[in-house]
A = this chain, B = another copy of it.
């Protein structure tokens, strides 16, 4: 076996971080060697074994969680550092990591938007590093593969954004969409998308047997979708599903009058027919959350009403898979120039 690249995860105790750890356990080309925490409180405490905090990893990953130490990352020749940290922490850590010539995959939203001015409104903080926003690669792997290869800083896409953009980008780029009519993206996500911190909104008794829309007209994935789609005429509404993991988006598109079913099918086929993690549903069935749970797939299906030029797209991903850790590992594979599917299929 060839030697494997050293990998570090900062923030491995959250859901996305733990999913990265899980995917790296059996990875043929990458070896998780370092877990660090940027949480000040934890840094001051006794070191803790990862599997004491997350017993499901007992005997699978018994590394210690070390306090953050950037020099140490450099010394250990870490090939890729995953940041599974809150927005503010990532915002501050990324420049320090890049200074030390460490390649970073950031799972937060802190380096996804190109216009720094948007951060104050959508994220609640002033972005201090507009130059890095320019150089950051938006890691929608199927769309930006060539840039991902060489990325120093990879901004891993938001989960909702991934589920909206993958079905829409080919149709938008090939000019199939009627620009005069708003696209409606009605998305539904499992609770892990809200992270691991307990709150009234994620209390079991408040979520089970219920369902709600939230952050209507003000969710921070909206500007990310508008930017990458190159089309701001899209209404995005997130909802909270009483499930742990998974996103399903139902997307309503008015296509141009000249567009027929075959054109839609060919457009998507051409874009994704050879992509390992996009599955097109061509036989009338539609994606469901359970078909993609615990995978890195984005499944895409559609129904078309040619009389009215109405196209309904349905996409499904695992928000912790293709919506976060899965896509991050896929990007790592591309950055390390190993098989794109390594550790994921």
Contact = CB atoms under 8 A, between A and B. Distances in A.
B205 A203 contact: no
B204 A191 contact: yes
Given A204-B203, A209-B209, A312 B242 contact: no
Contacts of A25: 345
Number of copies: 4
A279 B239 contact: no
Nearest to A181: B181
A181 B254 CA distance: 10
A142 interface: no
Contacts of A241: 211, 241-242
A305 interface: yes
Interface residues of A, number: 71
A89 interface: no
A195 to B, nearest CB: 9
A123 interface: no
B242 A186 contact: no
Contacts of A250: 186, 213, 237, 239
Contact of A209 (B213, B217, B289, B308): B289
B58 A235 contact: no
Contacts of A150: none
A56 to B, nearest CB: 4
A143 to B, nearest CB: 20
Given A55-B291, A205-B244, A235-B310, A286 B216 contact: yes
B209 A243 contact: yes
Interface string A271-286: 0000000010101011
A75 interface: no
A296 to B, nearest CB: 12
